[in-house]
């Protein structure tokens, strides 16, 4: 995150709140919490349909003008106003995640995945992209554009010291690949924890597998879903707003603070059953949660969920008349195959401890 972005707490709080609400409304609809409502049933079936797909992509971005972001950010203190360049970046950034599996996604485990990928694009094109295919992670980036977006310049290929010449393909924007087992070992060297073999000190996970200590068992999952359902059924209303050209629009509404408070109150008795480090917000933390109604818009075409959107400005302390829709679009996964001609790099060289270049790059990405 750039220094300028860190100076926009209003934007960050609003993004967090709306992101939580969008995911929550989508998830609870898929749990069948509103089976007695026709509009809710449509969303329910559409979200369940995503899990039946073997190929899926979703793209997250803002459907807003840079001037609207500047207006929404306001001037909290002198010198903290959002720069126009940063507003242009935020308005143009798109994050796309793709996944392809041999089985329906709802039934897929890690071993069933053919490939996964993520790309981050800016107003002028792709900033960074990675793909996880087989035993390798593939990566490329537009380093000049990436440095400008992050708020600090990155070295050029000609500026690399002799000890880091292997990184030249990265700085030239070419595809590189790293062995995933080497990445595990590099992570071990960085954190001091065992991530292969018998697992780290906190659990018994094997290389490439989730640590059981970081997972929620099925019984606890059911308790959580039951708790969420009871609150959502009480707090959320779904309504069918009609549509045109085969596209239906359904809106879910609720008081954000009441919804969040109600769910957390139900989850607190389950705190001891959650993974280590999963701390729930306190009542003091919730005082900053927006006490406003939030509406999440679902678009369905031929029964398929194609779009979810919510206006960030509705949860701002003073929206100043701005409209800043946060949009998630769903579709088929694009190309997530292994790129031809990728240069293999040692994981330690690319992201090991003490690497001043890649540590900052991966941390920002």
Q: Which residue has the tokens 């392809």?
A: 100
Centroid of chain to Cα 303: 25
Position 193 scores a pLDDT of: 53
Show the tokens assigned to 249.
Answer: 């629009």
CB neighbours of residue 355 within 10 Å: 19
List pLDDT tens digits, range 137-170.
999 988 888 777 666 777 788 887 877 778 888 8
Position 76 scores a pLDDT of: 58
Compute the distance between CA of residue 217 and CA of residue 91 in angstroms, rounded to an integer: 39
pLDDT-flagged residues of the chain (< 70): 1-37, 75-80, 149-151, 187, 189-218, 276-277, 348-365
Compute the distance between CA of residue 173 and CA of residue 317 in angstroms, rounded to an integer: 41
Position 84 scores a pLDDT of: 80
φ, ψ of residue 123 in degrees (nearest 5): -60, -25
User: How far apart, in Å, are the Cα atoms of 168 and each of 176, 205, 221?
Assistant: 10, 35, 46
Rounded-to-10 torsion of CA 201, 207, 210, 212: -40
Compute the distance between CA of residue 173 and CA of residue 342 in angstroms, rounded to an integer: 11
Rounded-to-10 torsion of CA 103, 108, 113, 117: 110
The answer to whether 19 and 296 are in contact (CB under 8 A) is no
CB neighbours of residue 178 within 10 Å: 23
The answer to whether 197 and 209 are in contact (CB under 8 A) is no
Show the tokens assigned to 248.
Answer: 């239906």
The answer to whether 170 and 162 are in contact (CB under 8 A) is no
List pLDDT tens digits, range 244-303.
888 999 998 888 888 888 888 888 888 888 776 677 888 788 777 888 888 989 999 988
Residues 233-246 as b or e (16 or more Cβ within 10 Å = b): eebbebebeeeeee
Position 23 scores a pLDDT of: 53
Compute the distance between CA of residue 349 and CA of residue 15 in angstroms, rounded to an integer: 35
């Amino acid at each position: 995150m750039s220094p300028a972005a860190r100076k926009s707490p209003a934007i960050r709080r609003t993004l967090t709140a709306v992101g939580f609400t969008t995911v929550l409304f989508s998830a609870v609809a898929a749990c069948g919490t509103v089976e007695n409502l026709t509009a809710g049933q449509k969303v329910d079936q559409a979200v369940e349909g995503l899990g039946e797909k073997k190929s899926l992509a979703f793209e997250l971005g803002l459907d807003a003008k840079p001037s609207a972001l500047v207006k929404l950010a306001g001037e909290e203190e002198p010198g903290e106003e959002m720069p126009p360049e940063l507003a242009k970046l935020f308005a143009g950034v798109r994050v796309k995640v793709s996944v392809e599996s041999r089985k329906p996604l709802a039934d897929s485990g890690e071993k069933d995945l053919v490939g996964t990928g993520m790309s981050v694009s800016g107003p002028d094109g792709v900033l960074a992209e990675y793909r996880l295919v087989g035993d390798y992670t593939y990566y490329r980036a537009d380093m000049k554009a990436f440095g400008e977006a992050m708020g600090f310049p990155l070295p050029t290929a000609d500026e690399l010291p002799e000890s880091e010449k292997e990184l030249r393909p990265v700085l030239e924007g070419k595809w590189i690949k790293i062995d995933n087992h080497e990445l595990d070992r590099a992570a071990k060297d960085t954190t001091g924890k065992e991530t292969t073999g018998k697992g780290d000190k906190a659990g018994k996970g094997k290389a490439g597998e989730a640590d059981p200590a970081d997972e929620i068992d099925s019984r606890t999952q059911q308790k959580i879903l039951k708790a969420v359902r009871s609150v959502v059924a009480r707090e959320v209303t779904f309504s069918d707003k009609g549509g045109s050209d085969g596209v239906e629009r359904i809106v879910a509404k609720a008081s954000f603070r009441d919804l969040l408070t109600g769910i957390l109150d139900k989850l607190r008795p389950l705190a001891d059953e959650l993974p280590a480090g999963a701390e729930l917000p306190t009542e003091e933390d919730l005082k900053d949660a927006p006490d406003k109604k939030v509406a999440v818009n679902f678009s369905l075409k031929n029964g398929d969920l194609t779009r979810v959107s919510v206006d960030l400005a509705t949860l701002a302390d003073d929206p100043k008349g701005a409209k800043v829709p946060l949009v998630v679009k769903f579709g088929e996964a694009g190309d997530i195959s292994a790129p031809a001609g990728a240069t293999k790099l040692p994981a330690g060289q690319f992201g090991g401890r003490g690497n001043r270049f890649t540590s900052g790059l991966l941390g920002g990405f």
